[in-house]
Structure 1
Amino acid sequence: MGNASRAAIIGDRRITGVSADVIAELVAEIGPLWHERHQARLASRPRKRAVGAGAKYRLVFVDRLLATLVHLRHATTHDVLACWFGVDRSTITRAIGEVRPLLAERGCTVGPGVRLRTLAEVIDHLGASGETGIIDGTEIRVRRPAAGRKDREAFISGKYKQNAVKTMVVTDADGRVLFCSPARPGSCADITHARQLGLVKLLADGPAVEILADAGYQGLGAQTGERVITPPHRKFKKNAPTGTRRCTSASARRTPRGGIRVKHGIAHLKNWRALTRHLGRREHMSHTVQAIAGLLSHQQTADLTSARPM
């Protein structure tokens, strides 16, 4: 790709979803990691090549990063990207497969130099800052598994009756994404997914944190010492037991507003077309979701930093 075309892609935020400054930070951060892993793969081969031997790359790392960003932002097919960058389709597939995991491992950026990569780090961050967290699950449509596969029915969502995978999203009170979990089959219930991620143990043994959730997480409040606040169960709308009155009144005030905030955060994620309907391999969904969450949070942090008065 020529320098003029590369500059046009970097200069227009609508193409990649992130600004030129963020792309420069990504190149400086991920470039050395990609080169290190590439050299490690070459060193692990049975047949060793001399330094500098072998075919030369036609797609430099900056172009590999740009191709991955365009693919995540617009769900552009590998064939189209191959024509755009002037390489073979397999080169684009290999480039995206190498860069996407590196983007996923970065975690979500909540401040300059502050990253949250695990759910435990998110709980500690909320406890240290005194902020309220909001959790919700979202589903992403995927291709139907092949006939005869034993876990084929596991991907059918009970809510939307379609093949999907599910991820749990954690945001703060302003709707900024703090964490996206690895993808699970669509038949997994929201509360089951939260338990499998260890949320109950983290809240029970961790700092005093308040988490807002919707009706799909009813039952976590009793297991976490009322740290998870959900709407009241329909059988408790009238004549609720004494022990549930306080939680019920708090839920009525806080969960509707919290639900809107987390939906806004999920909507910002779904603006990246790779999450509207995934047509690729389902095995890549966890890296895709976490990579987009990291890019979105990085751009949101950069926008907030630049908007603050000096």
Structure 2
Amino acid sequence: MGNATRAVIIGNRRITGLPADVIAELVAEIGPLWHERRQVRLASRQRRRAVGGGAKHQLVFVDRLLATLAHLRHGATHDVLVCWFEVDRSTITRAVGEVRPLLAGRGCTISPGMRLRSPAQAVDHLSATGKTGIIDDTGIQVRRPAAGRKGTDKFITGKNKQNAVKSMVVTDEDGRVLFCSPTKPGSCADITHARQLGLAELLADGPAAEILADAGCQGLGTQTGGSVVTPPHRKFKRNTPDWYEEMYERQRKAHSSRRIRVEHTSPT
């Protein structure tokens, strides 16, 4: 990898999730540890060449660190990183395997995932932990169905008129994905999707849990005894008083700021 490409990766925080100064600290702190472990490993086995002989690394430590950070942040497969860093797949696999324990030793770890297989398990988890849940329907654009096929209109979303399918994502207040539902045709309304998943019954009769939803689920709050919290319903459609407009916008923004975490997640 050239210096220009390396500088672009380090300078773009969205790729690694870390600013350039933190990456520099990681290089200075765990770089010597990686080099020391490598020397110990080379010296611990019988060699025909002296230590330091043979082919040089195709991937320097900085690139190994960047590849590992990109893999951890985006879940990029090793095959994708191979095309990016222009090395063999075994090199990427070895680099991630060597650098990841060093990052974990410094405290840069990923918490183990939970396998919640149903909305009921997600609600039980939220109730047990006392955290607020967030739900949102996310559209996934698909190819236009073949002409003449029955039921093609049900894939067209009412919002942007695209052929899509929907999945409902349930996260906690920290943005951690707890459950992602099977897909439904794009024309399925958000509130209908939530009812078909059984969320209304779960929250009305099950454990106490607070769920934040958008305006597409207005009405679930009444059915669930207030467990589902949606943006305030606008009472005035015409000749809205200034005081009410200010209060409405303040409440709407407060609700949006609480549920923004779900917008940063992806069902994939």
TM-score for both structures, normalised by structure 2? 0.55
AA aligned to 2:128 is A
Residue equivalent to 2:25: none
Matches within 5 A, 1:139-288: 139-235=139-235, 252=252, 254-265=254-265, 269=266
The alignment partner of 2:235 has SS state of: helix
Secondary structure, counterpart of 2:162 in structure 1:
coil
Q: Deviations over 1:188-234 (max 9, x none)?
A: 11111111111011111211101111111000000000100111211
**Aligned residues, how many?**
173
Unaligned runs of 5+ in 2: 1-57, 90-109, 239-247
Kindly indicate whether the alpha-carbon contact (under 8 Å) linking 1:120 and 1:202 is maintained by their aligned counterparts in 2.
Answer: yes
CA distance in 2, matches of 1:251, 1:124: 28
Match of residue 58 from structure 1? none
Contact 1:166–1:184, Cα closer than 8 Å, also in 2: yes
Alpha-carbon offset, residue 18 of structure 1 = 3.7
Assess if the C-alpha contact under 8 Å between 1:213 and 1:258 holds in 2: no
Does the 8 A contact of 2:173 with 2:259 survive in 1?
Answer: no
Q: For residue 30 of structure 1, what is the aligned residue in structure 2?
A: none
2:67 aligns with 12
1: CA distance, partners of 2:144 / 2:138: 18
Tell me which protein shows more helix as a share of its residues.
1
Please give the secondary structure, in 2, of the residue aligned with 1:170: strand
Residue type at the aligned position of 2:259:
G
CA separation of 1:250 and 1:141: change in aligned 2, threshold 3 A? same
SS at match of 1:204: helix
Letter in 1 for 2:161: K
Q: Distance in 1 between matches of 2:174 and 2:135?
A: 13
**2 CA distance for matches of 1:133 and 1:233?**
21
The verdict on how the C-alpha distance between 1:112 and 1:162 changes in structure 2, with shifts beyond 3 A counting, is closer
Match of 2:120 in 1: 120
Contact 1:230 1:251 in 2 (8 A): no
The residue identity in structure 2 corresponding to 1:222 is T
Q: Rg larger in 1 or in 2?
A: 2
The TM-score, its normalising length taken from structure 1, stands at: 0.48
Q: Render the CA deviation track for 1:266-287: whole Å, top value 9, x for unaligned.
A: xxx2xxxxxxxxxxxxxxxxxx
The whole-number CA distance in structure 2 between the counterparts of 1:182 and 1:202 is 18
Q: Structure 1 residues 146, 251: closer, same or farther in 2, change over 3 A? A: same
**Helix, strand or coil for the counterpart of 2:165?**
strand
- The Cα shift of 1:253 comes to 7.1
